[in-house]
């Protein structure tokens, strides 16, 4: 059983999958940084200074206790964060599409040469055999 497991783990598919998962995490972090630090400020600027991370719909306001501290936290739907997540998802999908497209283009083998016909010696041997009949 251990030998089968070792063979399974050492196959190329499992290792390729592990590398892909690690790279996807790294690409996700880079793209999230790009979306949060570059795209969203530009979108906010173009929409009149709106900060999407602060956009929310308050369902219940925070309640203060007798000591003046927050006893019950605010209940809100943070739809601005959701919009940011959607933009991040679209950006990650586009980046992965470009990467896979480039990989497939690089991986496509060159056209195979047409099969070679019989050699001169084979043709002469075939003619000889026909003449013998």
Closest C-alpha to 57, from 41, 36, 80: 80
Q: Which residues contact 20 (CB under 8 A, 6 or more apart)?
A: none
Q: What is the pLDDT of residues 64-104, one digit of tens each?
A: 888 878 778 889 998 988 888 888 888 888 887 888 888 88
**Could you give the CA distance from residue 84 to residue 43 in angstroms, rounded to a whole number?**
10
pLDDT at position 62 is: 83
**Could you give the CA distance from residue 36 to residue 81 in angstroms, rounded to a whole number?**
10
Q: What is the pLDDT of residues 1-46, one digit of tens each?
A: 888 877 777 776 777 787 888 888 888 888 888 888 888 888 888 8
pLDDT at position 12 is: 64
Closest C-alpha to 80, from 59, 47, 56: 56
**Could you give the CA distance from residue 125 to residue 133 in angstroms, rounded to a whole number?**
13
Domain 2-108 has CATH 1.10.1200.120: yes
pLDDT at position 35 is: 81
The reported pTM is 0.53
Sequence spans of domains, the chain: 2-108
């Amino acid at each position: 059983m251990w030998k089968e497991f070792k063979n399974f783990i050492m196959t190329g598919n499992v290792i390729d999958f592990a590398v892909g998962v690690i790279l996807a995490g790294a690409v996700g972090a880079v793209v999230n940084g790009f979306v949060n630090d570059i795209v969203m400020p530009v979108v906010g600027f173009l929409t009149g200074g709106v900060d999407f991370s602060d956009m929310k719909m308050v369902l219940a306001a925070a309640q203060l206790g007798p000591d003046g501290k927050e006893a019950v936290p605010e209940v809100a739907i943070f739809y601005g964060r959701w919009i940011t997540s959607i933009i991040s998802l679209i950006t990650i999908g586009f980046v992965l599409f470009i990467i896979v497209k480039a990989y497939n283009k690089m991986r496509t083998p060159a056209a195979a040469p047409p099969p070679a016909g019989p050699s001169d010696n084979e043709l002469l041997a075939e003619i000889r055999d026909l003449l013998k009949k």
